[in-house]
Structure formats: structure tokens, C-alpha cells
Structure 1
Amino acid sequence: MTEATSDATQQETPQPTAFELIGGEARVRALVDRFYDLMDLEPEFAVLRGLHPPTLDNSRDKFFWFLCGWMGGPDYYISKFGHPRLRARHLPFAIASPERDQWLRCMAWAMEDIGLDEPMRERLLTSFFDTVDWMRNRPG
């Protein structure tokens, strides 16, 4: 096998996505549900919870649809609503460092609770941080 053939073969084998590595839709749903359960139940997430509507059913569905695509799975959110426009959709909500940090803490807790291994939790938290930090729209 030549080096060119070897390189072509390596390029044809896609790396598994985060969606595949965590276990597909069932695990994404479990993550989303645990995230919102914690937000709803734990006092340390009260500020974050206050940014959401009284019932979280719609938020759970939208976040599930979004995360499936964001993690490399089916683009349910885009097929239903178009481009996520995350920053624009979150502009009505005051998001500063404390809200960002609550969101990340809640997600870290949810990932641990559903049993994601540490390397995957670290990988996702790094990506989540970049996204959530970019969505801050208030000083602090």
C-alpha cells in the first residue's frame, strides 16, 4: 500500500461524533432531562432557572433537538426552526459570567449523573464553555 493510498483510506474513515460516542438520542435525551431536572430542583441554579418559562417541557425538547445536531447527530433543530442563531435568541436574557457558570455547573453535574466518562465530560465542557461564554451579553 502506498502512502497516498494509506492517507486516502484514513481520510475516508470518519471519526465517531460526540453524538455517537455518548450513545445517540437516548443518552442526549437523558442528558437534557437531567440538566433540566437539576435546574428545576437545585437551589444553586435558581438564577438560571429564573431565565426559563414556568414549565420546561418546550425548553427540554428544543435543547434536545439542538444538542443532537450540535454533537454531530441529526439536525432536528435546524429542520424545525432553521439556523439556531443562539446569541440572537438569547439576547432578551441577561447572561453574564454568573449565569454562564451556573449553566456550565448544571451541565457538568448532569453529565456526571448520567455516567459520561471523564474524557467525554471534559471534551464537551470545553466546547460548551466556548459556546456559553460567547453568548454572554452583559458585563460581569
Structure 2
Amino acid sequence: MSFYEEIGGRATIQRIVEVFYEGVATDDLLRPMYPEEDLAPAAERFTMFLEQYWGGPTTYSEQRGHPRLRMRHAPFPVTAEAKDRWLMHFRKGLDAVDLDPEHDAQFWGYVQHAAQFMINSADPI
């Protein structure tokens, strides 16, 4: 079984993303990084990306090509503070699905690494 299947597949990832975007929707620092009025398209793209990354359907690449995460985030100032807020909301998503400790640690480790990699701007002084 893939990691994706072991954690419960799409339903689990959708719930993580749903809780994550509930936080983003009211976050004064992160919300401007999501220019679409409706966050649903961003949530679906993120769901598809996470599904593919963890061994689920390859719909993300079929529809959008290579993820190119840094390129796609380049227009937005991703600071250390933004990374911390992003991780705070993502942590709430992971907590909402209550994965077993091993899967939780693996998922959390990945998103911490990915979030650090996305930093492209210094925090304002």
C-alpha cells in the first residue's frame, strides 16, 4: 500500500486541506497570497498535489504539469513569518485527521522541509 492509501486516501487529504484553508482564509499575512476570491480552486490544486506526492492519483501533473513549487510561489513574498503561519495552519489540518504517530511524523517532516524551501524573501525589519 502507498502512504496515500495507508492514511485514508483522498478523504484524509481533503480534510487536511480543508482545515488548512479555513485558517488561511482569515490570516492577514497569508490570504493575500491567494488572489482568487474563492479559495476552492487553490484547495483542489493543493489536494491534487498532496495526493500525487503521497502516491495517489497523478491528476495534478496531468492537469498542471510539473509542480515547480518555487516558480509558482515566486510572485509572493514568502518570509520566515509566512512559513511559520503556513505551518501553523497545516499543523491544524494534520491534527484534524489524527494520523498514527509514524504517518503524522512523516507528513509533518515533509511539509516542514517544503515550507522552508519556499522562503524567498526576508522578513521586514
The residue correspondences of 1:13-32 to structure 2 (distance < 5 A) are 16-32=1-17
Residue by residue over 1:74-98, the C-alpha shift from the partner in whole angstroms, topping out at 9 and shown as x without a partner, is 1111010110100001000000111
2:51 pairs with 1:51: no
- Asked if the contact 1:36/1:60 (under 8 Å) is kept, the reply is yes
2:52 pairs with 1:64: no
Query: RMSD of the TM alignment (CA)?
Result: 1.4
Distance 1:31 1:55 in 2: 18
TM-score by length of 1: 0.80
Return the offset for 1:51.
Answer: 1.3
- Asked if the contact 1:34/1:114 (under 8 Å) is kept, the reply is no
Return the offset for 1:103.
Answer: 0.8
Which of these residues, 66, 78, 81, is aligned with residue 64 of structure 2?
81
TM-score by length of 2: 0.89
- Asked if the contact 2:15/2:97 (under 8 Å) is kept, the reply is yes
Structure ID, larger Rg: 1
In the alignment of these two chains, the number of paired residues is 122
The residue correspondences of 1:1-140 to structure 2 (distance < 5 A) are 16-41=1-26, 45-53=27-35, 54-140=37-123
Tell me the secondary structure at the aligned position of residue 116 of structure 1.
coil
- Asked if the contact 1:96/1:138 (under 8 Å) is kept, the reply is yes
Distance 1:112 1:118 in 2: 11
Return the offset for 1:124.
Answer: 0.9
Instruction: Supply the AA of the counterpart residue of 1:37.
Output: E
Instruction: Supply the AA of the counterpart residue of 1:23.
Output: G
User: Could you say which structure has the greater relative contact order, defined with CA pairs below 8 angstroms and 6 or more residues apart?
Assistant: 2
